[in-house]
Chain A
Amino acid sequence: MTLTANTDRLLFSATPHSSVEFPARLREMEDVKGSDGLGDTELRLGLPGTSTATRSAKRALPEGDEESHDELRRTSAAKAQVVGWPPIRSYRKNSFPARKAEAEAEAEAEAAAGLYVKVSMDGAPYLRKIDLSVYKGYKELRESLNHMFQCFSLGELSRREGGSGSEYAITYEDKDGDLMLVGDVPWEMFISSCKRLRIMKGYEARGLESRKH
């Protein structure tokens, strides 16, 4: 479900919505057109901060994940995942006694579970495993992988696939089993969808790059 305002200028595609959390009152609102000056706008309820496919690719929800996102919506944790909302300083969020124990337990569970994925490198005799949750972003990940596979590599893991001097490219297998190039999506989206990493030879990855465009 996504809450969008449909005007002449802004085009948003309609996404099918499940009515599980759709309060009856808001459904009525859809039928009452023009009474509140919204005219031909169409409003549907949605998770704060998400948007439809016509917004920039980075923020679109991949179609296949609709169901898993529905599930996410039902858990209270989902609401807290919208960056910067509600507008409360983080030190305040976790200082409330009621939530503190819960939040601490959650954080511990997360830290313990980690986000371990296998990392394979073409030509290397064995694989490694890394915890994605310890990295803040792509830069740190690349540095870590570089360091980890130094002994095997014949060249640095380059950021620019296909650029001169690049030997290897970092790819990953996502939830759907597709082989993707690391770096295209926001970090948070990447760590939630990455199932395993594969460092492949640069020339193989070039095909991947061009296929995407």
Chain B
Amino acid sequence: MTYFPEEVVEHIFDFLGSHRDRNAVSTVCKAWYHVERLSRLNVFVGNCYAIRPERVMARFPGMKSLSVKGKPHFADYNLVPYDWGGFALPWIKAAVRRSPGLEDLRLKRMVVTDDDLDLLARSFPNFRSLVLVSCEGFSTDGLAAIATYCRGLRELDLQENEVEDHGRQWLSCFHESCTSLVSLNFACLKGEVNAGVLERLVARCPNLRSLKLNRAVSVESLNEIVARAPYLVDLGTGSFAVLDCIGDKGLAVVASTCKELQELRVFPSDIYGAGATSVTEEGLVAISSGCPKLNSLLYFCYQMTNAALITVAKNCPHFTRFRLCILDPWKPDPVTNQPLDEGFGAIVRSCKNLRRLSLSGLLTDQVFLYIGLYAKCLEMLSIAFAGDSDKGMVYILKGCKNLRKLEIRDCPFGDIALLNDVAKYETMRSLWMSSCDVTLGGCKALAAKMPRLNVEIINESEGTDKLEENISDLHKVEKMYVYRTVAGPRNDAPDFVWTL
């Protein structure tokens, strides 16, 4: 390939869709690295602390689209203190300086302030698309800035963010001359928007294809909107989630009618106790036999049996995401009183393309043996209240070659497991362990052996100064977050985060 002119190589690289493929070709030789970096338009950073923003932008001067992720996934469940980090500002500032041609920005689990949004809105004349997922720190004032200054905005997609309502009629800030909107999603906002303003906005944007409103929009308004936007492809009032009060019978109906169903999420309507109409393993079995195309599942229930899981595994070998949450920790198979090792074992054995798995119920080290043995494509694993010993975790680290994210809470895994194969963590994005048996000494050992990992100890109880003086190495660490990085320890860590 060295005798091909650069333009040809670049053209070939254009066919590479994923950033992983582009990352791979950039490691082949210097020439390819050079061509690839100059031609990369879409940049994805899976962990905002893995690399400094300036370095990213220096490497990819042609960057048009940037996607950055911040907090660990368990932040969704309040396990990460709210001021842990994940600030958008350094990324926005760096882009202002080095990539003023930025068009798209996607941020997930990051802290974004109104000032950040204001800076963003004023700095990028070609800005087209802003997607914020599970972010916090901003209000409707920030949205007003985006609406005001981003002429030519095509997409504003707000998914599951914590947005403060300052009562500002941010929607009115879209200029009369703004006709470029293609996608607008403000389902996560709690406040009201002016119906007339919304209707007029929709009416003047002929390219609008996707509109997701919040619950404050009235039915009458919906009618007006639909009338004015005949080319809408996607209209919603927030996420449609199935609540378990439809029961197993309800799921059976879904199974018999929705033959094309690919993704299903069933949430509990009452997390405090099994209601008469919650779902069980029967509902899941029905779905699996009626919906063979099902590849992504999130299922909350009060009980599950091995037999059911084995049946599901047989019926649906195409799962790529399988997340099962039995609401009571350590709950065994109610019929046999056995752990659910065999059931989950069947899932990983059958679903060869499984990329994401969440476990629950009573589980011993055996299930981890199965996962290590069979789940070769697994990239993300979430474990809670499971396992008997360090062996469990070691099976995972040894067997799952493609593991990128491992998050563990309340499991009896300690230093022996943690230190079993320290080089493994450089092949992964991150490891989270909370309420496990790893000690401060173990974490220190890990940090000492692996300088290119940040080993963060999150200590929320007061007296962080005590942490550094008095706490012995035998002290068990409450929360530990380990991630590979070329940026060294971060300089924005709050007092309760200690990078070893």
Known: A41-B388, A56-B478, A84-B409. A183 touches B462 (CB 8 A): yes
* In the complex, A29 has a CB within 8 A of chain B: yes
Contact between B325 and A86 (Cβ–Cβ < 8 Å)? Answer: yes
Known: A87-B76, A92-B241. A3 touches B366 (CB 8 A): no
Chain B contributes a number of interface residues (CB within 8 A of A) equal to: 52
Contact between A7 and B465 (Cβ–Cβ < 8 Å)? Answer: no
A29 to B364, CA, bound (A): 15
A161 to B76, CA, bound (A): 36
Known: A87-B77, A96-B270, A98-B245. A28 touches B337 (CB 8 A): yes
Contact between A138 and B462 (Cβ–Cβ < 8 Å)? Answer: yes
| Residues of the B chain whose Cβ atoms lie less than 8 Å from the Cβ of A183 | 461-463
Contact between A93 and B461 (Cβ–Cβ < 8 Å)? Answer: no
Chain B, range 462-498, C-beta contacts under 8 Å to A: 462-463, 465, 475-476, 478
| Residues of the A chain whose Cβ atoms lie less than 8 Å from the Cβ of B273 | 76, 79
Contact between A187 and B460 (Cβ–Cβ < 8 Å)? Answer: yes
Contact between A89 and B76 (Cβ–Cβ < 8 Å)? Answer: yes
- Given contact pairs A36-B338, A84-B409, A99-B270, enumerate 17 new A-B contacts (beta carbons under 8 Å): A48-B330, A48-B385, A84-B74, A84-B79, A87-B325, A87-B384, A88-B271, A89-B76, A89-B77, A91-B160, A96-B269, A96-B270, A137-B462, A182-B462, A183-B463, A184-B461, A184-B463
* In the complex, B420 has a CB within 8 A of chain A: no
Contact between A9 and B389 (Cβ–Cβ < 8 Å)? Answer: yes
Q: Which residues of B contact A (CB under 8 A)?
A: 74, 76-79, 160, 162, 188, 241, 243, 245, 267-273, 300, 325, 327-330, 332, 334, 337-339, 358, 364, 366, 382, 384-385, 388-390, 409-410, 412, 414, 435, 437, 460-463, 465, 475-476, 478
Known: A87-B77, A87-B325, A98-B245. A187 touches B461 (CB 8 A): yes
Min CB gap A94→B, angstroms: 10
A159 to B414, CA, bound (A): 32
Chain A contributes a number of interface residues (CB within 8 A of B) equal to: 51
The 4 closest A-B pairs by CB, nearest first: A84-B77, A138-B462, A183-B462, A76-B272
Chain A, range 68-103, C-beta contacts under 8 Å to B: 76-77, 79-80, 83-93, 96, 98-99
Min CB gap B342→A, angstroms: 10
Contact between A56 and B462 (Cβ–Cβ < 8 Å)? Answer: no
A132 to B325, CA, bound (A): 34
Residue of B nearest to A43 (CB): B330
| Residues of the A chain whose Cβ atoms lie less than 8 Å from the Cβ of B270 | 96, 98-99
Q: Which of A3, A83, A139 contacts B462, CB < 8 Å?
A: A139
Contact between B300 and A58 (Cβ–Cβ < 8 Å)? Answer: no
* In the complex, A148 has a CB within 8 A of chain B: no
Known: A5-B412, A92-B241. A80 touches B465 (CB 8 A): no
| 24 A–B pairs (Cβ distance < 8 Å), ordered by A | A7-B389, A10-B389, A36-B364, A38-B339, A38-B388, A48-B328, A48-B385, A48-B410, A49-B329, A49-B435, A59-B478, A77-B272, A80-B271, A83-B79, A89-B77, A91-B160, A91-B162, A92-B267, A96-B270, A137-B462, A160-B465, A183-B463, A185-B461, A186-B460
A41 to B79, CA, bound (A): 29
Contact between A85 and B462 (Cβ–Cβ < 8 Å)? Answer: no
Contact between A88 and B267 (Cβ–Cβ < 8 Å)? Answer: yes
Residue of A nearest to B387 (CB): A5
| Residues of the A chain whose Cβ atoms lie less than 8 Å from the Cβ of B329 | 3, 48-49, 85
A43, A77, A88 interface centre (most CB from chain B within 10 Å): A88
| Residues of the A chain whose Cβ atoms lie less than 8 Å from the Cβ of B385 | 48
Chain A, range 168-186, C-beta contacts under 8 Å to B: 182-186
Known: A3-B330, A84-B78, A137-B462. A37 touches B366 (CB 8 A): yes
A182 to B463, CA, bound (A): 10
Query: Residues 26-64 of chain A: 1 if any B CB is under 8 Å from the residue's CB, otherwise 0?
Result: 101100100011100101000011010001101100000
A36, A86, A184, A186 interface centre (most CB from chain B within 10 Å): A86
A7 to B76, CA, bound (A): 33
Contact between A86 and B268 (Cβ–Cβ < 8 Å)? Answer: yes
Known: A58-B478, A85-B384, A159-B465. A37 touches B364 (CB 8 A): yes
Contact between B412 and A10 (Cβ–Cβ < 8 Å)? Answer: yes
| Residues of the A chain whose Cβ atoms lie less than 8 Å from the Cβ of B364 | 36-38
